[in-house]
Amino acid sequence: MTVTLADVAARAQVSPATVSRVLNGNYPVAASTRERVLKAVDELDYVLNGPASALAAATSDLVGILVNDIADPFFGIMASAIQSEIGGPGGRAGGERLAVVCNTGGSPERELTYLTLLQRQRAAAVVLTGGAIEDAQHKAAMDAKLKKLADAGTRVVLCGRPQAPDTGAIALTFDNRGGGKELTEHLIRLGHRRLGYIAGPEERTTTRDRLEGHRDALAAHGIEEDPRWTVHGRYDRRSGYEATLELLRRDPSLTAVVAANDSVALGACAALRDSGLRIPDDVSVAGFDDLPFSIDAVPSLTTVRLPLAEAGARAGRIAMGREEAPPGGIASVRGELMVRGSTAGPRG
């Protein structure tokens, strides 16, 4: 029923080997023969059997991309950039690669499961995006898996994720700590001394790094932190809303709220407004990431811009072997402080 290589070969009056070579274009084939083959392919509407060729050639054109949540633009932007670099006519002839995007939902098990599935598919490369989970046991399992993948020839790239030493993975980490510090310093320079912090979920490198940056800044300026000023939540708007109300309840005298990311910051803004507070007159708000919508908030959001698209593109190129890995297999990508309307001096 389905057309196979042999059918094409028969019709073009050549051997299957020749058809294969025409299709893969990595072996000399006379122009006239090639034409005849291509004609047969066209007439029969032949489509290569991917699994069969992957099996025979022991390679695959699948590239895995692990994300926490593809509906979140933070990951969507990276995924899109990675994608744009792995496919397309940039690679070798016929080198269209397919991106397998895996939504882990932040679950350790799913992360591992997807890696196994990708390993099963003999993926050509795997890119892991976003922060890692800080559980020692899970980390060990992940590292072992990554090493196995790398050993099997799969290129492993971490994008916005801390390095995984001795696994063979290339890391493009985000300088979350530095960005967090810069952001809070900006607030401190404006005169704030009572700053609330809405952190992400615990046990995540991104959460911890940003929070540490925040604390670095406080410490550097001799501000003693009140434990009531930090609330943990999820990386979404709703969490930001609730956390802000909680913060306000704990200490109504706060003059600034620093959020784990932009979505959380937007939720914080909504909560402040609903509480009758003006931004930035009564309370300043800052986010992190600089997602596209952040500039449209009113007032527009002060945040740290992470070059997600650039980092993703680079990760994609490295994954395809089209760009050299950074020295030492790791590069730190810095964020840029974007000062906008949501921050001002206290009671300004």
Partner DNA sequence: GACTACATAGAAAGCGCTTGCTGTGACTCC
Partner DNA sequence: GGAGTCACAGCAAGCGCTTTCTATGTAGTC
Q: State the minimum distance, in angstroms, from the CB of residue 232 to a second copy.
A: 21
Q: What is the 3-state secondary structure (H, E, C) of 275-339?
A: CCCCCCCCCEEECCECCHHHHHCCCCCEEEECCHHHHHHHHHHHHCCCCCCCHHHEEEECCEEEC
Kindly indicate which of the ranges 53-61, 108-116, 202-210, 282-290 contains the residues binding DNA, using the contact rule CB under 7 A: 53-61
> In this chain, which of 45, 58, 137, 347 binds DNA, going by CB under 7 A?
58
Told to check if 45 binds DNA by CB under 7 A, we report no
d(CA 278, CA 280): 6
> In this chain, which of 25, 35, 39, 56 binds DNA, going by CB under 7 A?
56
**By C-alpha distance, which of 74, 72, 73, 99 is closest to 84?**
99
DSSP string, 198-209: EE--SSBHHHHH
The residue among 16 and 307 lying less far from DNA, judged by its C-beta, is 16
Could you tell me how many residues of this chain bind DNA (CB under 7 A)? 31
Which tokens is 290 given? 């600089």
Helical axes 176-190 vs 205-220, angle rounded to 10°: 40
Length of the chain: 348
The residue among 91 and 191 lying less far from a second copy, judged by its C-beta, is 91
The residue among 27 and 293 lying less far from DNA, judged by its C-beta, is 27
**By C-alpha distance, which of 18, 24, 22, 114 is closest to 66?**
114
| Partner touching 23 among a second copy, DNA, none, CB below 5 to 8 Å by kind | DNA
Which tokens is 258 given? 């620093």
Can you give the binding site for a second copy, defined by CB under 8 A? 2, 45, 47-52, 54-55, 60, 62, 69-73, 75-77, 79-81, 83-84, 96, 98-103, 105, 113-114, 116-122, 148, 152, 237, 263, 266-267, 269-270, 292-293, 295-298, 309
Q: Residues in the site for DNA, rule: CB under 7 A?
A: 2, 4-6, 13-18, 20-21, 23-24, 26-30, 32-34, 46, 48-49, 52-53, 55-58
